[in-house]
Chains A and B, each alone.
Chain A
Amino acid sequence: MAGKVESQELDLTKLDKILSRYEGQDDALISVLQGVQAEFGWVPQGAIEHIADAFQISPGEVYGVLTFYEQFYLTPRGRNTIRVCRGTACHVRGTNANLRTVERTLGIKEGGTTNDFKFSLETVACLGTCFLAPVMMVNRNYYGKLTPDKVETILKQYD
């Protein structure tokens, strides 16, 4: 599944630096994985095996943790992350049309990443800004009261 898209060689020194921060802590697996993701943007397959060795557990166990939590990515992510809200308020105000616009403009589906690694698309249950419905986020920026036209202009602002 993962691995195939491993774009560059895995920098093991960076990985070891993260591991050394938690040396001797058997319960630090999630912290290490979060560190790896902060460093690389995703969790490469090579890292999984290396981390498993360091914790003396099987790679499958690490994989179990990785797939359980939504926050971990096993494929490289785009430079910008789009989060389209699918909460009740946004749904009623027509977020589906916006989501379809994003999907059509970028040519990716929910959970996907564009081939040029410019965007990754996610949907979330609520962004907590229902008064702006329908909402989406790009990186740390909120965009409210969206229409498909607005979505297209917003996407053009990012590189």
Chain B
Amino acid sequence: MGDITLTINDAPVTGQDGMTILEVARENGVDIPTMCYLKELSPIGACRLCVVEVEGSRNLVGSCHTPITEGMVIQTHSPRVVTARRMVVELMMANHPDNCLVCDAANQCELRQVAADLDVGLPSFKLKKHYYPIEDISPYLVRDLGKCILCQRCIRACDEIAKQKVFNLAYRGFDCKVIVDLDQPVDKEVCRDCDVCVSVCPTVALRKPKKQGEEKKGPPLILSQ
């Protein structure tokens, strides 16, 4: 475990062997936005939001899964990086439902936060959107795949933390989605109420059931004469 010296945004920093670029950057107060990354889960580099420019590398590299090496020269907010990040978020937004205004996630939504932070605004692409039925038969879990951004956090959390493997990725291209079992809607057979997946979902593709607008118990507010 030796110390490794590298340069992030023209400042010399040191990190330990085996750390990723993202870990070193965060330790040194450099904020790299992330979406699929969570420090409790194994990094997969799926969302490409954490890309950085590494000198000598032809492509931008995903900082959440790239280990540091001696003498690395990294730019985390160069124009090229920021353009790439904006494009990533813009594409995510482009096939995300347009109902932010009435969405439960509101300001808790990580996609919205990141879009606001990168000043993405309304997407300039007109893409097909996903129209999946909302799965609300389970008493523990409501799933709205239209809002899923395929970060795969739920898949990894279920596998690595809850040790259940309820979720999996299936299909291909535009049809790619997170499936339960052999592509069945979530019901109480496959999933109990551990809520790990709900807590990691960046949008509200997964949430707890609510009883909005339903009849509440208690005496009627206005008694008939």
- Please list the residues of chain A having a beta carbon within 8 angstroms of any beta carbon in chain B: 1-2, 45, 48, 57-61, 63-64, 66-68
| Known A-B contacts A64-B170, A67-B172, A68-B170; A1 and B165 likewise in contact (beta carbons under 8 Å) | no
When chains A and B are docked, how far (Å) is the Cα of A98 from the Cα of B89?
43
Q: Which residue of A lies closest to B169 (CB)?
A: A64
Contact at B179–A60, with CB atoms within 8 Å? yes
Contact at A63–B165, with CB atoms within 8 Å? no
- Give the shortest distance, in Å, between A113 (CB) and chain B (any CB): 20
Contact at A63–B172, with CB atoms within 8 Å? no
Contact at B181–A67, with CB atoms within 8 Å? no
Residues facing A in B143-198 (CB within 8 A) are 165-172, 179-183
Contacts of B180 in A (CB 8 A): 60
| Known A-B contacts A58-B165, A60-B165; A68 and B171 likewise in contact (beta carbons under 8 Å) | yes
Residue of B168, B169, B171 with highest tally of chain A CB at under 10 A: B168
Contact at B171–A59, with CB atoms within 8 Å? no
Partner of B183, one of A61, A63, A68: A63
Residue of A1, A2, A57, A67 with highest tally of chain B CB at under 10 A: A67
Contacts of A1 in B (CB 8 A): 182-183
Contacts of B170 in A (CB 8 A): 60, 63-64, 66-68
Contact at B181–A59, with CB atoms within 8 Å? yes
Contact at B168–A61, with CB atoms within 8 Å? yes
